[in-house]
Structure 1
Amino acid sequence: MDSDETWTSDEYGKSHEGRVGVLLADGTAPDAVYFDSSSGTFGSTVRHWSVYDGSAHPKRPRAHVLRAECACGWTGESHPVDWETASDLPFREHGAQTAGRCLGDWDQHTIAVAATTIPVPAELEALLENVTAAIEDLAKDSPTAAVKAARTLEIIAQRTAYWPAREAAAENPEKAAAELGLNAEETRRLLARFGGFSPYH
């Protein structure tokens, strides 16, 4: 098991999954750290940034910088780890602010990704926002009615996206991926779901 903390957005999911990456003083990325279980019969590998604190048991290299990393290959600015003022605080505590900067960098990355995607017409965008607000207000009075409204939107989405999804998959799936801001696999799955076909064809 590889334990790590990652970030995803509703819009881009695994295509732009982010995390805090670690670089050592020599500029290399460390391997995951292996922890034995108490019974010794199995263990787990961990690559959460906080385990790279220079401890000897198990042996862990010390982080030199933290930076945001994204599944798409993007990396953010390197933020040096301040070991001078760490005192006796565990790395998870004294490094939290630095890790938070990485999250902020990744947030800005997803905003930049959004700017490259195909825009939804402003009138439709406003309509969708109004519908969202209306359903949220409805939920305060009747949760069931709100669920019914959301279910209606789900049906509308499936009905209206059926042929567009098939056309996008047949014409130029790479172009569709770029316009949606998704990787090839996630685009294939999305188009298959709306188009009612297998993503493996």
Structure 2
Amino acid sequence: MWAWWFVGWLREGVMGERETWMTEEFGTSHEGAVEVVLSDGTVPEPVYFDVGSGTAGHQVSQWSVYDGRPGIPRAAALRAVCSCGWKGPEQQLDWESMGQQDLAEAGDGQADVCERAWDAHTAAVEASTVPLPDTITMLLEQLEEEIDKLAKTSPIAAVRAARRTEITAGHTGYWAARSTLHDCTPGQAAAALGLTESAARSELARLGRYHPYAG
């Protein structure tokens, strides 16, 4: 219940535009995607598409564009990658059996395997974080379920309940974050939360209401 993930589109510098996955808890600390590997083992540059009409084009690194058409490399394999540096196993593309199929359709099975590999990676990350007592996990799940139920009969009451939840989180998180600042190094906090050091520092600063680089 607390590991929902969602799909977005990333366009960041030379990386180009491509579909990405994130969980709500880990966010961009573990942002996954399908990466293309060429026959020589290298990763291709983003493909530039000129939209014409005098407007600027855009760069795309979505796996399905690397089909070997003129001026575009042909993917030899797909693999899952994560913003933390993790890479999944390569899933080979058999172009002989694929024939004239569109790569987006022919490679869909391999892309799905990549997505499942990233799912397993984030599950391993979650397993490595500081464990929560079962009572806390159960209470959080129950609270979410009760607010969802309330929203069906009184949405405005559910809004108030959600706001009260935020207030409670702010109160409890304040001292917890400040204690963590003194008890843990940035690296220890990041590992315990499943975040990058930068993200952990920002999260603790948000909860503890201090500048992320204070002290």
Class of the TM-score when normalised by the shorter of the 2 chains: over 0.9
1:118 aligns with 2:159: no
1:195 aligns with 2:174: no
Give 2:23's aligned residue: 9
Give 2:181's aligned residue: 169
- 1:81-104 per-residue CA deviation (whole Å, 9 max, x = no partner) reads 121222322111111121111111
Q: Which runs of 5+ in 2 are unaligned?
A: 1-10
Q: Identity of counterpart residues, as a percentage?
A: 48
Q: Against the structure 1 CA distance between its residues 41 and 129, is the aligned structure 2 distance closer, same or farther, given a 3 Å change threshold? A: closer
Following superposition, the deviation at residue 38 of structure 1 comes to 1.5
Give the distance between the partners of 2:67 and 2:212, measured in 1 at CA.
43
Larger RCO: Structure 1 or Structure 2 (Cα < 8 Å, ≥ 6 residues apart)? 1
Q: What is the root-mean-square deviation of aligned Cα atoms in Å? A: 1.2
> For residue 152 of structure 1, what is the amino acid of its counterpart?
R
Give the distance between the partners of 1:83 and 1:142, measured in 2 at CA.
55
Match of 2:103 among 81, 91, 97: 91
Give 2:116's aligned residue: 104
Aligned length: 199
- 1:150-177 per-residue CA deviation (whole Å, 9 max, x = no partner) reads 1111000000010111121233221111
> For residue 156 of structure 2, what is the amino acid of its counterpart?
T
Give the distance between the partners of 1:14 and 1:3, measured in 2 at CA.
15
Match of 1:183 among 180, 193, 196: 196
User: Which is worse superposed, 162-171 or 17-26?
Assistant: 162-171
Give the distance between the partners of 1:40 and 1:93, measured in 2 at CA.
32
- 1:68-124 per-residue CA deviation (whole Å, 9 max, x = no partner) reads 000011011110012122232211111112111111100010000011000010111
Give the distance between the partners of 1:14 and 1:128, measured in 2 at CA.
23
Match of 1:18 among 32, 36, 45: 32
1:77 aligns with 2:89: yes
> For residue 31 of structure 1, what is the amino acid of its counterpart?
E
User: Which is worse superposed, 69-78 or 90-99?
Assistant: 90-99
Give the distance between the partners of 2:28 and 2:114, measured in 1 at CA.
18
User: Which is worse superposed, 14-23 or 136-145?
Assistant: 136-145
> For residue 202 of structure 2, what is the amino acid of its counterpart?
R
Give TM-score scaled by structure 2 length. 0.89
Give the distance between the partners of 1:34 and 1:170, measured in 2 at CA.
48
Give 1:27's aligned residue: 41
Following superposition, the deviation at residue 200 of structure 1 comes to 4.0
